[in-house]
Structure 1
């Protein structure tokens, strides 16, 4: 029973740390960040199982984390009012070609992170972006001015996916 309680406490703490820590994709993590995460994993496991290295302790800890994750997802589904608080919300980081620096700072992201994500999506200049949204999972969704032009004149180059 002790391992179950410890697992729940560590799960709640890690959930809080991830929520406060900002949105970043694993692909955006540096080598140091990855090493830090692995080290945190080892420290967390020691805190959960103390000196009980049995298979049963490991199964209880993993099962507790799994069930807590499922419960958290279920809560976000059943209670939409709490979804932004539990799962986060998407944030607009560029509007009409202008980066929203306060929003980026609030998400602990730099303008360089934004430029890198834009380049990875084939966007050369921020002024070409009508809207950029930082999604809950840390990925960016870009809507460029060219997208609108293609949609308005019907020359998107392919069949309409909706019919």
Structure 2
């Protein structure tokens, strides 16, 4: 039972750290960040199982993390009003070519981050962007002015 309680406490702490860390931080993990995460994983496992290195303790810890993740997903599905609080919400960071600096600051991002993401999508100027959305997973969605000229997309790839 002790492993179960420690697992829930560590899960809640890690969920909080990821939420506070920001969307782009999670989406832009470098090689060093991955090594750091592996190290943190080892440290967390020591905190969860302490001196109990049995297979049973490891199974209980992994099962607790899995069930806690499933429970969070179920809560966000069953109670949509909790979804923004638990999973985050998409934020508009550029509207009609103008960056929303307060929103960017709130997400701990700079306009350079938006420029970089736009260049990756082949967008040269912010003035070409009608809308840029920072998604809950930390990725950007761009809607350019050229999209309006093409009309509504058709076929199986069309958005509904």
TM-score above 0.5: yes
List runs of 5+ in structure 1 lacking aligned partners: none
Q: 2: distance between equivalents of 1:137 and 1:84?
A: 12
Contact 2:131-2:144 within 8 A present in 1 as well: yes
Q: Which residue of 2 aligns with 1:100?
A: 100
Q: Which residue of 1 aligns with 2:13?
A: 13
Q: Which residue of 2 aligns with 1:87?
A: 87
Contact 2:27-2:137 within 8 A present in 1 as well: no
List runs of 5+ in structure 2 lacking aligned partners: none
- Alignment: residue pair count: 157
Q: 2: distance between equivalents of 1:106 and 1:33?
A: 23
Report the Cα offset of residue 94 of structure 1: 0.5
Report the Cα offset of residue 25 of structure 1: 6.6
Instruction: State the TM-score, normalizing by the size of structure 2.
Output: 0.90
Q: 2: distance between equivalents of 1:70 and 1:31?
A: 28
Deviation per CA, 1:99-124, whole angstroms, max 9, x where unpaired? 11221121122222211111111111
Q: Secondary structure in 2 aligned to 1:52?
A: coil
Contact 1:91-1:135 within 8 A present in 2 as well: yes
Instruction: State the TM-score, normalizing by the size of structure 1.
Output: 0.89
User: For residues 18 and 27 of structure 1, do their structure 2 counterparts lie closer, same or farther at Cα, with a shift above 3 Å needed?
Assistant: closer
Instruction: Verify: 1:122 aligned to 2:154, yes or no.
Output: no
User: For residues 88 and 131 of structure 1, do their structure 2 counterparts lie closer, same or farther at Cα, with a shift above 3 Å needed?
Assistant: same
Q: Runs ≥4 in structure 1, deviation > 2 angstroms?
A: 24-27, 30-36, 159-162
Contact 1:25-1:137 within 8 A present in 2 as well: no
Deviation per CA, 1:3-58, whole angstroms, max 9, x where unpaired? 10000000011111111111027552233322322221111111111111111111
